[in-house]
Structure 1
Amino acid sequence: MSSTKWLFILLLFLSMALVQGQENLTGYWQPQFAINYHVAGSYSHNFSIANRNYIFADEEFTLKGRQLDVAHFSQLKIRDNQSIALGIQYRFRNNFENRENELRITQQYNFTNKPFAVRYGHRFRTEQRITKSLTTHRFRYRFAMDFPLMGEKLDPGEPYFVGSIENLLSVAKQNVPQYDTRLSGQIGWQLYGGFKFQMGIEYRMEYFTSNFPQNILFLLTSAQLSL
């Protein structure tokens, strides 16, 4: 099992490293901080703030802000391994670029199973991305897996791996449908006091059915506190 895990990690990161030689490449660094708050019973809240910054654009390295996202999710567990959630997010773009700000409403269903040390997750989302000029409907499916990197059980202070692949369809009035895919891998640490830290890479291919697909590479860092 251990060798299989490391082989999966190696293949995932090698595949994402290959995109550096692709055309139409944009690179971002996106730090995020989130708080999970248990309300009562099976009901919980999640609050997050994320800042996206250019680090590679127009074939040049740079460091420039692109947007700020503030989001809230309300989640209800309907079974031990299943949950539904409703989210709302506001994206500040006009403060960084001459682009419209965006309001996003999200509906989500998630279920997981863990036959052994590896946990598998399936997430389905529908979204309405609302700006002054356009409303875009997006449909998303993500398959994810995570597992401890030391032994069969995750103990405080030990690392774990999270990998996922997600496909998206975006449709809007008088626009051609947009198909995107995302591949990510992150290493995280379960620390004491309900604190987690993760870092990794995400590769996105946007408009991949068009003649000029866009290659996007993210450097991700995130901290999460569960209360």
Structure 2
Amino acid sequence: MIMSCTKWFLFLICFVWISSLKAQDNLTAFWQPQAAVNYKVSNTYSHNFSLAHRAYLIKNGGFGYDARQIDIVHFSKFNLTDNQSLAFGVQYRFRNIFEDKGDEVRLTQQFNFTKRPLVVRFGHRFRTEQRITKALTIHRFRYRFAVDFPLKGEKLNIGEPYFVGGFENLLSVAKGNLPQYDTRVSSQLGWRVQDGLKIQAGIEYRVEDYTSTFPQNIFFLLTSVQLIL
């Protein structure tokens, strides 16, 4: 079952990659490194702080490194049961220092539900967001289905790898604008380096505004470090 899930996600990533090569005019690629710290206050309440940077690797048909933004994010998470939680987040996006696009404040409300029938854990995440800029406020509604599992044995031990994959749909609405529909597919490999420390690397593919006549194909190279205190 684990191998079949892995092959399915790898096949899907390869498929969208090959499909995107046919649309080079609307292809963009980013590198996004991230560092996150999870701090547990009690058995039912925890904090998450993260810092992420996004830079262009492919822009307007050309290759190169060009910084785009920096994101600072905080989430407060409340465990309702062992496998259900509520979270509330605030994010500030510094973009004006790199591009003349304006900074952004984002508020997030989240419900997460997980289930682990065997070795594989399934996750369902529902989010609502308010993306606030000087020009307008965009309301976003998101659903993500995710799977993760160890690649050795039935339990993730120190020094062992694991797999994380996800599929997400998004709807964005704003006053005076047409609704925008996006889809995201991601695949990452992670390692539990030591107790409380994980690193991950992988790719994500996005189709933005896929109902329009000119949808955008976007690839992300993702790298992250997660520290659990």
- TM-score after normalising by structure 2: 0.96
Q: Aligned partner of 1:110: which letter?
A: N
Q: In the TM superposition, what are the counterparts of 1:69-218 in structure 2 within 5 Å?
A: 69-218=71-220
Q: Which moved more, 1:148-157 or 1:49-58?
A: 148-157
User: Which amino acid in the other structure matches residue 174 of structure 1?
Assistant: G
**Shift of residue 6 of structure 1?**
3.9
For the pair 1:8 / 2:44, whether they are aligned, the reply is no
Deviates more, 1:151-160 or 1:16-25: 16-25
Distance 1:116 1:72 in 2: 32
- Could you tell me how far apart the structure 2 residues matched to 1:151 and 1:16 are? 30
Percent of aligned pairs with the same amino acid = 59
Q: CA deviation at 1:132?
A: 0.9
Alpha-carbon deviation of 1:14? 1.4
Aligned to 2:23: 22
Report if aligned partners of 1:16, 1:202 keep a CA contact under 8 Å in 2. Answer: no
The verdict on how the C-alpha distance between 1:73 and 1:205 changes in structure 2, with shifts beyond 3 A counting, is same
Deviation per CA, 1:3-32, whole angstroms, max 9, x where unpaired? 414422431331243124423000000000
2: CA distance between counterparts of 1:158 and 1:12? 25
**CA shift for structure 1 position 2:** 4.6
How many pairs are equivalent? Answer: 227
- What CA distance in whole angstroms lies between the structure 2 residues aligned with 1:118 and 1:46? 24
CA contact (8 A) 1:65 1:96 kept: yes
Change (3 A) 1:138 1:2: closer
User: In the alignment, what sits opposite 2:64?
Assistant: 62
> Which runs of 4 or more aligned residues in structure 1 lie more than 6 Å from their structure 2 counterparts after TM superposition?
none
Q: Residue type of the partner of 1:59? A: G
CA–CA separation in structure 2 for the residues paired with 1:190 and 1:5: 20
Distance 2:170 2:147 in 1: 18
How far is 1:152 from its partner? 1.8
CA contact (8 A) 1:12 1:185 kept: no
Amino acid at match of 1:146: D
Root mean square deviation, CA, Å:
1.1
TM-score, scaled to structure 1? 0.97
Secondary structure at the residue paired with 1:196?
strand
Point out where structure 2 has 5 or more consecutive residues left out of the alignment: none
- Unaligned segments of structure 1, at least 5 residues: none
Q: Which moved more, 1:188-197 or 1:166-175?
A: 188-197
Q: Alpha carbons of 1:163 and 1:176: their partners in 2 closer, same or farther (altered >3 Å)?
A: same
In structure 1, what is the Cα distance between the partners aligned to 2:195 and 2:154? 21
Q: Structure 1 residues 2, 43: closer, same or farther in 2, change over 3 A? A: closer
